[in-house]
Structure 1
Amino acid sequence: MTDVVLDGVDKVYPGGVVAVRNVRLKINDGELFVLLGPSGCGKSTILRMIAGLEDITGGDLWLNGTVANDLQPRDRNVAMVFQEGALYPHRTVKGNMMFPLEVSGDDRAEAHAKVHELARALGINSMIDRLPRTLSGGQRQRAAIGRALIREPSLFLMDEPLSSLDAGLRTELRVEIAALVRSTGTTTVYVTHDQVEAMTMADRMAVLRDGVLEDVGTPEQIYEDPATVFVAAFLSSPPINLLQATLWAVEGEGLLLDFGSQRLIIPWNDPRASSLISHHGQSISVGIRPDTLMPIAPGSPAPPGTVLSGQIRALEFHGHEWLAYAETGIPTVDATEVGRPAPAASYEPERPGVLDRVRTLLGRPSPQAEEPVEEHAGHHRRRADLIFRIAPGDRPNRGDHVALTIDFERVLFFGANGKRVTPVHRTPHANAKPKPREAHSHEAPRHP
């Protein structure tokens, strides 16, 4: 078994492309740790640096207390499962799983027994004599996982192993994989872009964007107490409501959230008031998850500053519930742009897109002349909808006016830089740093 520490790790490719920037992270012995983020965020690059398949540009990688920057992949005692399984096509399932034991010179009878035992655990014992081309995608992935685990590695690395499978099979396999690696006690690093996989499998997880570590914690911590507006939006299904407001401290009333057309009031006795007051007069992002909104009966009394209202524009049926989209006139926030460094400015003359040219030929009005949308932070255009949940028996109608009360304790507040305004609570070991290292010859230059 082993633990993994990334101490200020950078990865810069030729041409100056920064894939990973100053990542500090500790993965504990025996932990199932998930690296989560959108495509191109650096999660697979981190996994490959841990495996020794990518050189580290700056910083240090520690494996079980030893600097491993210069260790060859074969000397790291790690096993890796890729997205497509990468089985040997000319070998049967049994032959693929036997191969690592043959290379290490294990006793043949003992190796056979281990292969059959692990194949039973993975549910592929009945197909152990079949070639990979005769297997389904899920069966091939099970065989690839078996070939990796049969070596009893100290570190198990999985790079989006379920992404090419259908939704039903992904659900089945993620349960089996999580149970299997926990039963072995092997430290496991699992890469995915699927928030459901991350939330259901991880002991702890890290969320990355543009090669930068945004947040680290347990799934519950990151969902309920996200460190940045990007994390709040990325771990949200249905999408979190991110509303743009100006914060005002009003004597005798409280903290006023001014959305332009509507307002909310946070009382002075709210424990977050002391953190929020420093943003007086500033624009902030207000995060309201759909399950924190509750429709109230028409005409029901509600204290001033505790209700948001709108007109229902669309409804979606999800079996166990309805999702409602209410037009509120409140500006929304683009979480993908808030807190991201601005790219270098470049000028390109505006050219009409394909849809614009089609509208011109058909004599149709432009989108600006059709239905109103709101411009908001990040210059992303989106309707000013408020999304909330409704039980199946309480379905309203499109066009109905609705008033919504809010569970204020679960409302999230983010500054203009995308970071939480109020304190974020994490376990002490979430970003533990290694002991100071001794100087050694392979020191790589650091990048900002």
Structure 2
Amino acid sequence: MTDVVLDGVEKVYPSGHTAVRNMRLRINDGELFVLLGPSGCGKSTILRMIAGLEEITSGILWLNGAVANELQPRDRNVAMVFQEGALYPHRTVRGNMMFPLEVSGDDRAQATAKVVELARALGLNTMIDRLPGTLSGGQRQRAAIGRALIREPSLFLMDEPLSSLDAGLRTELRVEIAALVRSSGTTTVYVTHDQVEAMTMADRMAVLRDGVLEDVGTPEQVYADPATAFVAAFLSNPPMNMFQATLWAVEGEGLLLDLGPQRLNLPWDDPRAASLISHHGQSVIVGIRPDTLVPIEAGSPARPGTVLSGQVRALEFHGHEWLAYAEAGIPTVEASEVGRVAPPAPPEPEPTRLVDRLRALLGGRAEGGGEPAPEEHAGHHRRSDLIFRAGPGGRPNRGDRVALTVDLDRILLFGADGRRVTPVPR
């Protein structure tokens, strides 16, 4: 019986890098909780702080109602599974799973029976006497999970245990792992960068970026009602359309989303109107998932203010559907950069040699000294495409002009800072 509370937890390394910022999070007893985010967002650091493998710089970690900041890892009753399993290579599957019971001094006969029972549940009974080097990647991960579960820990931590496996095996194992930890009733914190893994496994999930908690809730809540533009884009596959717009409240017309060459119109009776009217004249971000755009057949009527159009420039075949990219001339937004916490700039070293001083003053290369400064690039910017889905029998051709009706009830609206303009139900 363990719940986990992070109360204002931060991790700052001696170099000055802040890996986790003011983390406030509650993980309930018996919950399968997923930490999701891109590489370097702090999710593994949080896991290691919970396990006691990383010191907490500030804030309080509570484990089952008790402050755990100073607890040694061995006193936390935590079991951890890493990406590579980390099995003892000289021990068989049986020996690896038996090891924690040997250390704790369990009765050997009872321990043996327990190992055999768990190996059968994990599908390892036919290879229980084989060494790790003779097993596949999935079998090794099963053995590592078995070694962790055999101890009956109060808290189970899993750090990207499936990321090194092929896609088919990941699908199979994520179903097995979720079923196994739920049947054990053990509180589990699972780290992944894979959106599908998080959405299919989690009871609840947290999305992180740059060490900051962006959103938390059930998979359904976080997907349908994301708190930020980053979360909406990160959980969208295929990619979400993110467009820059100016919001205008116009008497008699409603709320106009000015997308430059095109526009959308929300009527005054839209439930979001009361929240949006305060953003009159301001820049907003419009999030439109591809499945909310439906191609209109030639000659079919469409309500004004609900249609976007473009010229198809690229098509992707996905078996059950086509994904189309239509140039629409609408300014796009890179959601991964919106509302991002900017790291402090490192102090510049004082130039010591004369040539260094001269280079610093000139802002470039001093004659005869060193290499030219590398050219700066503005980075990749997505084209102003409308991304939409088309069925196998109704796909457009490259170069076709298309008109797409927009399901306005399902578009998402964010402020310039990337936060949702309308309230997020939780």
TM-score (norm 1): 0.88
Contact 2:240 2:290 in 1 (8 A): yes
Structure 2 counterpart of 1:22, one-letter code:
N
Distance 1:402 1:170 in 2: 38
Shift of 1:77: 0.4
**Equivalences for residues 50-69 of structure 1 within 5 A:** 50-69=50-69
1:225 is aligned to 2:225: yes
Partner residue in 1 for 2:7: 7
Structure 2 counterpart of 1:253, one-letter code:
E
Partner residue in 1 for 2:161: 161
Distance 1:351 1:307 in 2: 45
Distance 2:286 2:374 in 1: 35
- Deviation string for 1:385-436 (max 9, x for gaps)? 011111111111111111111111110000011100000011xxxxxxxxxx
RMSD: 1.6
Higher mean Cα deviation, 389-398 or 42-51? Answer: 389-398
- Deviation string for 1:314-370 (max 9, x for gaps)? 1111111111111100010001110013455798887559xx9xxxxxxxxxxxxxx
Structure 1 counterpart of 2:200, one-letter code:
T
Structure 2 counterpart of 1:203, one-letter code:
D
Distance 1:273 1:212 in 2: 30
Partner residue in 1 for 2:130: 130
- Deviation string for 1:234-264 (max 9, x for gaps)? 1010011101101111111011111111011
SS at match of 2:336: coil
Structure 2 counterpart of 1:268, one-letter code:
W
**Equivalences for residues 10-409 of structure 1 within 5 A:** 10-343=10-343, 351=374, 380-409=380-409
Structure 1 counterpart of 2:75, one-letter code:
D
Distance 1:131 1:307 in 2: 62
- Deviation string for 1:185-242 (max 9, x for gaps)? 0000000000000000000000000000000000000000000000001101001110
Structure 1 counterpart of 2:233, one-letter code:
A
Distance 1:389 1:278 in 2: 34
Distance 2:120 2:386 in 1: 49
SS at match of 2:130: coil
Contact 1:249 1:277 in 2 (8 A): yes
Contact 2:210 2:341 in 1 (8 A): no
Shift of 1:285: 0.5
* Aligned residue-pair number: 403
- Deviation string for 1:288-317 (max 9, x for gaps)? 001111011112111211100011111111
Contact 2:306 2:407 in 1 (8 A): no
SS at match of 2:47: helix
- Deviation string for 1:5-26 (max 9, x for gaps)? 0000000000211000000000
Distance 1:153 1:72 in 2: 15
Structure 2 counterpart of 1:220, one-letter code:
E
Compare relative contact order (CA 8 Å, sep 6+) and give the higher one, 1 or 2. 1
Contact 2:313 2:399 in 1 (8 A): yes
1:418 is aligned to 2:418: yes
Shift of 1:382: 1.5
- Deviation string for 1:89-113 (max 9, x for gaps)? 1100000000000011111111111
SS at match of 2:196: helix
- Deviation string for 1:90-142 (max 9, x for gaps)? 10000000000001111111111110111111111111101111111111100
Structure 1 counterpart of 2:76, one-letter code:
R
SS at match of 2:116: helix
Structure 2 counterpart of 1:116, one-letter code:
V
**Which 4+ runs in 1 deviate beyond 6 A?**
345-350
Higher mean Cα deviation, 293-302 or 153-162? Answer: 293-302
Between the aligned residues of both structures, percent identity stands at: 83
SS at match of 1:156: strand
Contact 1:334 1:380 in 2 (8 A): no
Distance 2:95 2:379 in 1: 55
Shift of 1:379: 7.3
Distance 2:143 2:97 in 1: 7
TM-score (norm 2): 0.92
Contact 1:31 1:187 in 2 (8 A): yes
- Deviation string for 1:136-158 (max 9, x for gaps)? 11111000000000000000000
Distance 2:27 2:220 in 1: 17
SS at match of 1:49: helix
Contact 1:247 1:255 in 2 (8 A): yes
Shift of 1:265: 0.6
Distance 1:422 1:256 in 2: 16
Contact 2:288 2:411 in 1 (8 A): yes
